[in-house]
Amino acid sequence: MKNKFYITTPIYYPSAKLHIGHAYCTTLSDILARYHRIQGEETYFLTGSDEHGMKIEKNAKAANMSPQQFVDNIVVSFNHLWKSLDISNDDFIRTTDERHWKTVQKVFTKLIENNDIYLGAYEGWYCKECEAFWTDLQVGPEHLCPDCGRPVEKAKEDAYFFKTSKYIDRLLKYYDEHPNFLLPESRKNEMMNTFIRPGLEDLCVSRTSFSWGVPIVEDPKHVVYVWLDALTNYISALGYLSEDDALFKKFWLDEKSEKIHILGADITRFHAIYWPMFLMALELPLPDREFVHGLLMTKDGKMSKSKGNTIDPLPLIERYGVDAVRYYLAREVSFGSDGQFTPEQFVERINMDLANNLGNLLNRTVSMINKYFDGVIPAYKKEITPFDKSVDDLIEETILKYEKEFNELHVTDALIEVMKLVSRGNKYIDETMPWVLAKEGKNEALESSMAHLARVLFVTAILLKPVLTRKADLLLDQLGIENEKRVYESIKDEHLLDGVRVHKSEQLFPRLDEPAEVSQIVAMMQKKEQKDE
């Protein structure tokens, strides 16, 4: 049984400000980290920035800055966004950190000593944007990068190479023996059919055409190729090959630690093929799972900093609150599938789920407890009304499904189960008709109705805490729950709310005027486009 949890996002490239697609990946990773924390697991959550390479060197020169100044300026905006989104990362690794440099250099030396790296010359099709070499077969007759679709050019230089051929059979065997290693499964088929079976060439792991990178100790005119450099962040941040390697032992080497990489489709090849090979060469355990989330797109396709069709999440957070944005990202697009951001969908999702469903249930319940029981939640009893058992059963079923979905990284599906419970609470009001029970003097049934509604809200708030980092606690404030009782284990206590006094407050999620708010979001997007031009 695993009792520790290590989760990572990709480290993002600081060529420009991050957009809502990056926010999507990091927010979903944060939700998973928060879920495992409330389960009582020791959790470590890592994100960071990938700051080396030719593109950074060129952009810095164009901006009349040193590469370090250039990335320092942009990384400030990264951390500002994560703070605005309530991201709970335990560390932020930068590939320009000295701790990272030292680990990368030691890793490179180990690979040379193990005869996994050799010096040769590379000639092939090179994509400047992706900083990757490709074969004739991969670029096709139009000579386009298979990852980003941009034109590639012929290039040749002395380079060190990693012996991929040495590890292909081991990797394929690992795929077979660990079917959940790469998810969704379609990604594994893509890796095998597109990259491995057509013939996997040895990987170029150094460059001499630019200097902005980690210099190789044995041959300083070379810098470490960006992907060997970047991927090492997952273990350099934990102290691998350093004097202080306690985190590495705890979260990477301990068999009771589950290691999860969350990544985008465009970097799957490097994570699913080369990263496992590097780890095999270093005789280290592999991650338990690599989960490839889908793309968050706009109507005109994939969001891209270079295309200029990105959406800045900060104005959305400022106008609608962090909880609305976090909920939308987690609920609207099924985690693992591609999805689309539109202003209409954003407003509709907030209204439908948070205002009409959750906010409405809270408002009605607290109002009725105030009206009928002077604000005190009655004692919880079973099967007083004909509808009580179905609610009790659904609460237990929701908790089980929620845990199952989260443990399988199905964040969206877990939220759907919780919102089904909220919908059931609203239906339960219509079924029990508390106003009729009060009028007819059926006090025991009225007590049961209020107690069941309060319990539905309490369980919902605890289950939504990983997503609603602020409003879940405001909901619990209205229910009158003491801070020390706002823990996951409390959802099993049916009598926790007995005699608790509610505190009616402002609406949790006011209903949005759809036409007006859609216009506001469209204006935000147009304003950003004009700023980018």
**What span, in angstroms and rounded, lies between the C-alpha atoms of 331 and 178?**
29
**Do 96 and 66 meet the contact criterion of CB atoms below 8 Å apart?**
no
Q: What is the pLDDT of residue 297?
A: 73
Structure tokens at 178: 């660990």
Q: What is the pLDDT of residue 14?
A: 84
- The answer for 296, left when phi > 0, alpha when psi is -120 to 50, beta otherwise, is beta
**Locus of tokens 């589950």:** 258
Structure tokens at 386: 């004909």
Instruction: Report DSSP state, residue 376.
Output: B
One-letter amino acid of 383: E
- 98 CB contacts (<8 Å, ≥6 apart)? none
Of 517, 467, 28, nearest in space to 475 by CA: 467
- First-to-final CA distance of the chain: 53
**Do 369 and 450 meet the contact criterion of CB atoms below 8 Å apart?**
yes
**Locus of tokens 């690992």:** 174
HEC per residue, 217-271: CCEEEEEECHHHHHHCHHHHCCCCCCCCCHHHHHHHHCCCEEEEEEEEHHHHHHH
- 242 CB contacts (<8 Å, ≥6 apart)? 99, 102, 103
**Do 431 and 425 meet the contact criterion of CB atoms below 8 Å apart?**
no
Instruction: Rounding to the nearest 10 degrees, give the CA dihedral for residues 522, 528, 532, 533.
Output: 40
Structure tokens at 372: 């009928």
Q: Where are the domains of the chain?
A: 4-293, 342-492
Q: What is the pLDDT of residue 126?
A: 85
**What span, in angstroms and rounded, lies between the C-alpha atoms of 7 and 44?**
6
Q: What is the pLDDT of residue 533?
A: 43
**What span, in angstroms and rounded, lies between the C-alpha atoms of 17 and 1?**
40
- 3-state SS, residue 379: coil
Q: What is the pLDDT of residue 301?
A: 59
Structure tokens at 517: 């708010």
**What span, in angstroms and rounded, lies between the C-alpha atoms of 453 and 391?**
9
Query: Which CATH number applies to 342-492: 1.10.730.10, 1.10.10.410, 1.10.10.60, 1.10.3720.10?
Result: 1.10.730.10
For the entire predicted model, the pTM comes to 0.92
Q: What is the pLDDT of residue 180?
A: 94
How far CA 368 is from CA of 16, 130, 359, in Å, comes to 51, 59, 14
CATH of region 4-293: 3.40.50.620
**How far from chain centre, in Å, is Cα 11?**
12
Of 241, 288, 289, nearest in space to 107 by CA: 241
**Do 297 and 309 meet the contact criterion of CB atoms below 8 Å apart?**
no
Q: What is the pLDDT of residue 303?
A: 56
How far CA 319 is from CA of 294, 297, 346, in Å, comes to 26, 21, 13
Instruction: Count Cα neighbours of 447 within 13 Å in the Cβ-side half-sphere.
Output: 15
**What span, in angstroms and rounded, lies between the C-alpha atoms of 476 and 460?**
10
Beta bridge partners of 182: 290
**Do 147 and 130 meet the contact criterion of CB atoms below 8 Å apart?**
yes
How confident is the prediction along the chain (533 residues), in pLDDT tens digits per residue? 889 999 999 999 987 778 888 999 999 999 999 999 999 999 999 999 999 988 898 889 999 999 999 999 999 999 999 999 999 999 999 999 999 999 999 999 999 999 999 999 878 888 888 777 788 888 999 999 988 899 999 988 899 999 999 999 999 999 999 999 999 888 998 998 889 988 898 999 998 888 999 999 999 999 998 899 999 999 999 999 999 999 999 999 999 999 999 999 889 999 999 999 999 999 999 999 999 998 777 776 555 545 555 688 999 999 999 999 999 999 988 877 888 888 999 999 999 999 999 999 999 999 999 999 999 999 999 999 999 999 999 999 999 999 999 999 999 999 999 999 999 999 999 999 999 999 999 999 999 999 999 999 999 999 999 999 999 999 999 999 999 999 999 999 999 999 999 999 999 999 999 999 999 998 888 775 555 54
